Amino acid sequence: MTSSLRLRAAIVSIALFLAFIGIWHIATRGTGAVATMTPEYARLMGLTATHGKSAMPGPLDVGAKLWEHVKRPFYDNGPNDKGLGIQLGYSIARVGLGYFLAVIVAIPLGFLIGMSPLINKALDPFIQILKPISPLAWMPLALYTIKDSGLSAIFVIFICSVWPMLLNTAFGVAAVRKEWINVARTLEVGTVRRAFTVILPAAAPTILTGMRISIGIAWLVIVAAEMLVGGTGIGYFVWNEWNNLSITNVIIAILLIGVVGMLLDQILARFTRMVTFPE
């Protein structure tokens, strides 16, 4: 039953994909030669103007270009032109670093907030105000104070991934069942030990969920941050190709951003499953 459902779902997926490609192909076909112009003039003009080629590339253009990128993902033609593999590597490294810093800060702080109602109340107004700020709004401030665009991008990743982790950790820690804590107390387990042996395992699924939300947001933000500061990374690649109005390359980048985002999410999802326990 489940296998046939899976098969049917796959067929529907493929059909949807083919329909999408087909419509895309038809919608972006050129209109053929347009206005008459002298050959001398036409030589100076682009295909859009001379052959009515759609400004939006078709699936075949994108496929051909994608193959070109896949063939040589790690080329390096100087500081402003590197292969897609290298660009993705830069972005993943930035996200990794910012995210790692956020984990170091958010999880202990979340524990503190979850375990102490006093700290919870005291920090609440700050968190409530800081949480909804768009991470990119920090960018000018970061550039001004940190004075380094690479570090600023990492800071922006840090600040955007800290909140979901912090709140989820605090929530998970505060929501640990009272009975378990009371049992630990009865057995005279110390605070530190209680935190690690009782609360941490109990709150782990919630914490991991927060981390999973964070990595998604971090990956969303890095593209925008790199478009702003430039230099390296997949966001810079999008901006550079946008500069050249090369929609083909922008579409390829979008595709890859989606794939990498999915992979990051799947990794965290796997971790979450590992710590989940039946009650």
Q: Which residues bind another protein (CB under 8 A)?
A: 35, 37-38, 40-41, 43-46, 48-49, 55, 77-81, 140, 143-144, 147-149, 227-231, 236, 239-245
Instruction: Find the shortest distance in angstroms from Cβ 242 to another protein.
Output: 6
DSSP per-residue codes, the chain: -HHHHHHHHHHHHHHHHHHHHHHHHHHT----S-S---HHHHHTS-HHHHH---SSPPHHHHHHHHHHHHH-TT-B-STT-B-HHHHHHHHHHHHHHHHHHHHHHHHHHHHHHHH-HHHHHHHHHHHHHHTTS-GGGGHHHHHHHH--HHHHHHHHHHHHHHHHHHHHHHHHHHTS-HHHHHHHHHTT--HHHHIIIIIHHHHHHHHHHHHHHHHHHHHHHHHHHHHHH-SSSHHHHHHHHHHTT-HHHHHHHHHHHHHHHHHHHHHHHHHHHHH----
**Nearer residue to another protein within complex by CB, 32 or 79:** 79
Token pair of 265, please? 């999410």
**Nearer residue to another protein within complex by CB, 147 or 178:** 147
Instruction: Find the shortest distance in angstroms from Cβ 80 to another protein.
Output: 4
**Nearer residue to another protein within complex by CB, 7 or 137:** 137
Instruction: Find the shortest distance in angstroms from Cβ 62 to another protein.
Output: 17
**Nearer residue to another protein within complex by CB, 11 or 45:** 45
**Nearer residue to another protein within complex by CB, 136 or 189:** 136
Instruction: Find the shortest distance in angstroms from Cβ 105 to another protein.
Output: 25
Instruction: Find the shortest distance in angstroms from Cβ 28 to another protein.
Output: 15
**Nearer residue to another protein within complex by CB, 53 or 194:** 53
- With a CB cutoff of 8 Å and minimum separation 6, the contacts of 146 are 152, 155
Instruction: Find the shortest distance in angstroms from Cβ 72 to another protein.
Output: 13
